[in-house]
Amino acid sequence: MAEPGFRSGLIAIVGRPNVGKSTLVNAFVGEKVAIVSDKPQTTRAGLRGILTTGTYQVVFTDTPGFHKPRTLLGSRLNDIVGDSAKDVDAIVLVVDAAAGVGRGDAFVYERQLARALCPKFCAVNKVDIVHGHLEVPQLSAAAELGAFDEIVPVSAKTGKGVAVLLDLIVRRLPEGPLLFPGGEVTDQSLDVRLAEIVREKALDLAREELPHSIAVVVEDLEQDAGLSRVRATVVVERDSQKGIVIGKGGATLKEIGVRAREEMERLLGVKVFLDLRVKVLKEWQRDPKALRRLGF
């Protein structure tokens, strides 16, 4: 039970694709709860990262990049953003100082923040790349997007400014009870976390045309005292993509498995036996039944 004066709240982290939302959530929580990739639309669900101290609990919702959709999956990802930004205690719009604040950010502000009545923050991310005087124009451009309670330059990658932004958010949290048990850092099930690890490694190794077409499902998980057995399926849309994921002589799939297993072992604290398969599910991004099967 929380002490009197304890603060808690839900914070939506929104922004266009590839601005560093997941990296910022990981920086807030202090450990990796969201996969990270330089490919747009890496985040596909409104996962929550949870930070709990003796005086507050902040629940950060990491959302997909808000964009103009080209597929049914894209539309559903945008719906996730909209749902995640409703009934929250604050919204953080993340913008990319290195790429420049622009029309895409204005589009997100108009759709997700303009009519919100809660506190609104702008995190001007990647200032470690722009440096010094080049930072100022991006802060000014962020201020032109709309009315924010605070605009904070940050580097989610190095941690610069993250504590400052967190303190400003906590000050505006309402008093309230714990929303999640104190020991939890995410609301994701273990199956989903393991599947996301595999997808992150596949994104790292796959070609440019593949990222949106890759999904991962953990089919079976057996946990013993010193060994966990994970059977997972990498889902793609076409036979040609299956060949890319497998690679020549199975080399790419093997490397995906090696990298994924290493991270799974760090997460679980035991040895992992990982069985990876690849399956074609034709045009799943546009198929409502397939999207439901894959959790969208």
pLDDT in tens, 24-66: 999 999 998 876 766 555 555 557 889 999 999 999 988 765 4
In which band, very low, low, confident or very high, does the pLDDT at 71 lie, cut at 50, 70 and 90?
A: low
Q: Give which of 206, 214, 211, 208 is closest to 255, Cα–Cα.
A: 206
pLDDT in tens, 142-185: 999 999 999 999 999 999 999 999 999 999 999 999 998 888 99
* Angle 64-285-296 from CA coordinates, rounded to 5°: 55
Average pLDDT over residues 62-80: 53
Task: List the alpha helices (DSSP H) in 51-189.
Answer: 72-84, 103-108, 127-130, 132-143, 162-171
Superfamily of domain 7-171: P-loop containing nucleotide triphosphate hydrolases (3.40.50.300)
Q: Given strand 271-280, what is the order of strands in its sheet?
A: 215-223, 227-236, 271-280
Per-residue pLDDT at 127: 93
In which band, very low, low, confident or very high, does the pLDDT at 91 lie, cut at 50, 70 and 90?
A: very high
- Give the torsion sign (CA, 263, 266, 267, 268): positive
- Give the torsion sign (CA, 280, 285, 288, 294): positive
pLDDT in tens, 113-138: 888 899 999 999 999 998 777 888 99
Structure tokens at 72: 């049914």
Q: How many CB atoms lie within 10 A of CB 59?
A: 23
**Rounded Cα–Cα distance for residues 94 and 88 (Å):** 16
Tell whether the model's pLDDT for residue 81 goes beyond 50: no
Domain 190-293 has CATH 3.10.580.10: no
Average pLDDT over residues 202-230: 84
Query: Domain limits of the chain?
Result: 7-171, 190-293
In which band, very low, low, confident or very high, does the pLDDT at 82 lie, cut at 50, 70 and 90?
A: very low
Question: Would the pTM count as exceeding 0.85?
Answer: no
Average pLDDT over residues 76-98: 73
